[in-house]
Structure formats: structure tokens, C-alpha cells
Amino acid sequence: MELCDQSASELIKLLGKGEVSSRDITESVLKRIDEKEGTTNAYITVTRDIALKQADDADRRFREGKKIPNLNGIPIAIKDILCTKGTKTTCASKILGSYIPPYDATAVQKVLRAGAVMVGKTNMDEFAMGSSNENSAFGPARNPINPEYVTGGSSGGSAAAVAAGETILALGTDTGGSIRQPSAYCGITGIKPTYGRVSRYGVIAYASSLDQVGALGRSVEDCAMLLNVISGHDRLDTTSADVKRPDFLKGLKKGGKGIKIGLPREYFIEGLDAEVKNQIMAAVSLLEKEGAEILEVSLPHARYAISAYYLIATAEASSNLARYDGVKYGYRSDADFDDLIGMYEETRNEGFGTEVKRRIMLGTYVLSAGYYDAYYLKAQKARALIKQDFDAAFREVDCLITPVSPTLPFRLGEKIADPLQMYLVDIYTVSVNLSGLPAMSINCGTVGGLPVGLQIIGKAFDEETVLRVGHVHEIISGHK
């Protein structure tokens, strides 16, 4: 096995023993990028020189024998929605196509301080709006398992890069499923932490009450390790929670005995692919054999989740994206406009892609006088009920297991012409963001060569249980 195909935890052992250098690992990753990028298009920017320099710095720290930070020498890919000082951050949009941030996002600063090696900025749906990575201004990312299939989205580049050995770890963001769904479609592991667990400072905003930074990797252990590094209170993000962070790696060892797992009745009905369901149920029986107790629970308002999500997310997006006007950031049209309004209009018309424009229009509409009560306020009420359902379920069980996506990965082009079909892919993931909960996607097998993702949803700030259940499954099933 090449170095670029190994997990971070294995590589950390090898680095610690001095059997490999960070330079060896980083060169192996960069070589794989050269071989695969033509197919996967997982990156928008590859930061080769930065990576090699950071690898040499990491190797020097090993030689000097000082206190070694937790991710020292491990390559990481960063979703192009997180600001990186001095490195282009496009959000996969033409409107930010040449934007170079003057600062690092807190999550980026934390991984770099932990000694990680930044290999590049990954492809994504423009402004994180999408479920297939087909909405990128830089072309779609392609699934390394089969390039005719989508990677999922919006963190498709991060998931594809991990799956292809084009990085070891990756950062992503998840507003309605964008870490979990691409992780599922690319057969890797990805965790969206509790809202407030990881700082959003320096994350380009899509829907601020839903956005959360999280970790993608080859194993639950790798995700736990990365989550340990990026979590924590940040006074630069007023929604960041001032809570103690447990050691997520230590928590993994507790095993599955006695854990109560709920299966939400409303998630296993019509619309769920029968083969996906079989794989999920097989995984549930494995966990039962390991001593977990399985109970049925009900989330009666689940059916409002997609509507509530797409009203709230678009409303927030319409406000967040108002700042791109050709004055403050990035792109400005050079068309011949008559006045300032004309410049704004032309810049936004040329700079944003179709899906982003659709959402800005929808969001503006639901917030406008006369429609606010009928749509936005109603959606907020539904959001409260969806959250109450989870509160009730968590009085009975410790975590929930559901599919990540109702279907297997789909082909490029299959859903892009029909936005509603695309939105329905998010049916099992958006409620988690509406309720601010932690959830992880792990692989639980394949159907016809295509991976199936299993979702574990936890109580707020109880990532420990989510990771622990995922780890038990990973060990007993041998899926990584």
C-alpha cells in the first residue's frame, strides 16, 4: 500500500518511529494528485510549494525532538469555502474566482498549528449549494470509485480527495448534509459536529444558523483525531459554544455494550432504495450482536424537513450573498453599465451560477413583506417541531441510525436539470442541521460496487457516542 492510501493514525505511528518522513508522505500524496486529478477534479487549487515547505518544517520538528503537535506532518485538504491566508479561496464561484483572503479561518489556523500539511483547496458546489458537486464554476468533481458518478456535495472535492489518496485528511462544511452525503457516496467517513462545536470564523457563509465545519477521513479514528484539533470555543465566532471538549480519541475505546440505538420509523418508508435499506439493517444487526439495544422511535415532523430547510437556508443565503456586489470582493463585470445599480446587477448576473441565483431569488421572496409569515415564519415553526421530535427521541435512546441518502450515488447529469429531485437527496440529513445536532456518515458496504453510507445522529455535544458507535461498526464489519 502506498503512503497516500494509509490512514492518518497509521502514518502518525510510522512518523513517530522515524520510519517515514512527512516529505515522503506529502510527495506520495502529490504524486497521486498528478495521476488522478485529470479524472477526479477534486481540487480547485493544489498548494504544492506550501505543502512541501510545511512537510519539511514538520520533519524538522521531529528531528529537533520538541513537543510534537497532534497532526505533525499529515497532509490535509481544505474545502475552498474556508479562508486561507495568501491562498486563493473561491467558494467554487466566479464571483470569488480571484479572491485571496488576508487571514486564515480558525479551523485552518488550528490544523496548521497542529502541524498538518496543506496540500490544496478542494472543489465543491458553488457557495456550498448542491448535493452533487455539479454546481462548481470549476467543473464537477468525479467519484473516484467510478468517474461516471457524482461525488455528492457540496464537499465533493474533499470526499473524493480522501477516497482517491489525494490527501490523508480533509476539512469540509455541512449546512444540510454536505460532509455526510459526499462521504457516503465516496465510501469514506465524515462527521458534522454539533452547531457551535467548531468555529465558523473565516468560513464563507451560506446559511449561518446551519453551517458547521467538520472532518473527513478514512476511518472514525482519523475523524476523531481531526475533530480534537478543530473543536473549541472561539471568541471570533459569537455562535461558538464555550463547552469543554472531551478527548474524542479516548472515547472510542468504550465499545457498544448497552448503547440504546433508535431507528426512526419515518426514515425507513417509501422512497428509500431497498438495497440501501438492506445494508443499513445488516449493519444494525451487527451492532445488536455487539450488545447495543435497538428500539423504534418516531420523528413525526420529519416530512416537513426538506421544505423548512430549503426556505430557511435560501432566506439566509439571500442575505449572506448580498455582500458580493463588485465593490468589496472579487469579481466585477467590465460590461458597459450606466450606473451603480447596473454594475451590481451585471456583476451578480455574470458572477453567480444558476443554482445560486435560484436560491437568492427564492430566499428574497420568502423574506419579503406579505410572504414572510406564510413561508419563512412557518418554516421556523416547523424547525422548532423537528427539533422537539429529536429531543423526545433522545429521552429514549442514546443515538439514532438512519441512511445518509435515500439512494446510491447517481450519475453525473442525472438530477441536475430537476432541482426538486436534487433537493430530495437531502431528506435524511437536513433535519440534523435544523436541530444543530452532531452526525456522522460511515461506510456500511456496497451495492453493485457503489458505497452505502450509514448515518449516526447524536445528542447535542455528544459526538463521543456517535464516534463510539461508528468505531464499533468499523471494527466488527471491517469496513473502513
Residues marked active site are found at 79, 154, 178
| DSSP secondary structure letter of residue 245 | P
> Which CB atom, from 72 or from 155, has the smaller least distance to ligand GLN?
155
Distance of closest approach, residue 212 Cβ to ligand GLN, in angstroms? 9
Query: Considering beta carbons, is residue 109 or 183 the nearer one to ligand GLN?
Result: 183
Q: Which is nearer to ligand GLN, 26 or 405 (CB)?
A: 405
Minimum CB distance to ligand GLN, residue 359 (Å)? 8
CB of 180 to ligand GLN, least distance (A): 8
Give the integer Cα–Cα distance in Å for 303 and 159.
Answer: 28
CA distances from 454 to 143, 356, 407, 410, 472 (A): 18, 29, 12, 17, 13
Smaller CB separation from ligand GLN, 426 or 462: 426
What are the residues binding ligand GLN (CB under 6 A)?
128-131, 154, 174-178, 206, 313, 426
Residue type, 208: S
Cβ closest to ligand GLN, residue 300 vs residue 419: 419
- What's the 3-state SS for 376-433? HHHHHHHHHHHHHHHHHHHHHCCEEEEECCCCCCCECCCCCCCHHHHHHCCCCCHHHH
Q: How many residues does the chain have?
A: 480
The Cα 102–Cα 97 span in angstroms is 15
CB of 31 to ligand GLN, least distance (A): 31
Question: Closest CB to ligand GLN belongs to which residue?
Answer: 178
Cβ at position 289, least distance to ligand GLN in Å: 33
Q: Name the DSSP class of 203.
A: B
Closest listed residue to residue 145, CA positions, set 130, 172, 121, 165: 165
Tell which residue, 66, 54, 65, has the closest CA to residue 29. 54
Residue with smaller CB distance to ligand GLN, 25 or 366: 366
Closest separation in Å from C-beta 176 to ligand GLN: 3
Residue 415: CB partners within 8 Å, gap ≥ 6? 132, 421, 422, 425
Q: How far apart are CA 315 and CA 312, in angstroms?
A: 5
Q: Give the integer Cα–Cα distance in Å for 81 and 204.
A: 5
Helices then strands, each counted (H, E), the chain: 16, 11
The grid coordinates of residue 327 equal 465593490
